[in-house]
């Protein structure tokens, strides 16, 4: 039987988890999605994140554009971007969770996939995952131990712990040098979510 897989990546969640757990974020997305998919057929990967505001941090915006250009060259991967709004002087993501959850449900309802793999630990997706299961689809969650909702894990049919062993052989290039990492440190969490 041909099992169709759709992968939904919460980009900001993945970026921050990679950075805090491994000190790097230069992931080869084609290899990453192939590993998650296994022998099944990948329908498409959807990557969700916010588009940085070029007027606020032009350097972060430029880095993100370079990253997105590389990401768009990944076969069967589609980039979906939301925006940020300033709330009390702090940039806040707007619309990303709703966009991801809507696609997850819409594609299940229209029978575009058999298995949904969510790459996120965010509890906000638990109800959407349960609804996808209720339509008769299988749901899998790829998560980091340090930042996952128990609700997501309870709903998942299958789980992938994203640890050092999982990422072996999935990095693109070398680990950033300590000098480059030191230059990046002053960025706040909300600003460094360029990937």
Q: In this predicted structure, what is the pLDDT of residue 193? A: 46
Q: In this predicted structure, what is the pLDDT of residue 186? A: 39
Q: In this predicted structure, what is the pLDDT of residue 57? A: 79
Q: In this predicted structure, what is the pLDDT of residue 151? A: 92
Q: Are 50 and 82 in contact (CB under 8 A)?
A: yes
User: Residues of the chain whose pLDDT is less than 50?
Assistant: 179, 181-194
Q: In this predicted structure, what is the pLDDT of residue 4? A: 98
* Domain coordinates in residue numbering, the chain: 4-184
Fold of 4-184: Rossmann fold (3.40.50)
Q: In this predicted structure, what is the pLDDT of residue 192? A: 41
Global pTM reads 0.86
Q: In this predicted structure, what is the pLDDT of residue 182? A: 45
Q: In this predicted structure, what is the pLDDT of residue 179? A: 47
Q: In this predicted structure, what is the pLDDT of residue 75? A: 93
Q: In this predicted structure, what is the pLDDT of residue 176? A: 58
């Amino acid at each position: 039987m041909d099992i169709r897989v759709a992968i939904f990546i919460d980009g900001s969640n993945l970026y921050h988890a990679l950075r805090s757990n491994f000190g790097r974020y230069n992931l080869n997305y084609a290899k990453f999605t192939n590993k998650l998919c296994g022998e099944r057929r990948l329908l498409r990967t959807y990557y969700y994140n916010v588009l940085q505001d070029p007027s606020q941090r032009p350097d972060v915006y430029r880095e993100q554009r370079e990253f997105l250009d590389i990401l768009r060259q990944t076969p069967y991967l589609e980039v979906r971007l939301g925006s940020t709004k300033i709330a009390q002087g702090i940039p806040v993501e707007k619309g990303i969770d709703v966009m991801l959850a809507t696609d997850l449900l819409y594609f299940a309802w229209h029978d575009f996939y058999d298995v949904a793999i969510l790459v996120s630990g965010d509890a906000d997706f638990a109800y959407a995952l349960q609804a996808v299961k209720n339509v008769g689809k299988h749901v899998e969650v790829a998560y980091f131990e340090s930042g996952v909702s128990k609700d997501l894990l309870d709903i998942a049919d299958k789980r992938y712990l994203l640890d050092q062993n999982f990422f072996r052989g999935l990095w693109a290039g070398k680990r950033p040098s300590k000098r480059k990492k030191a230059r990046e440190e002053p960025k706040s969490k909300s600003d460094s979510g360029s990937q």
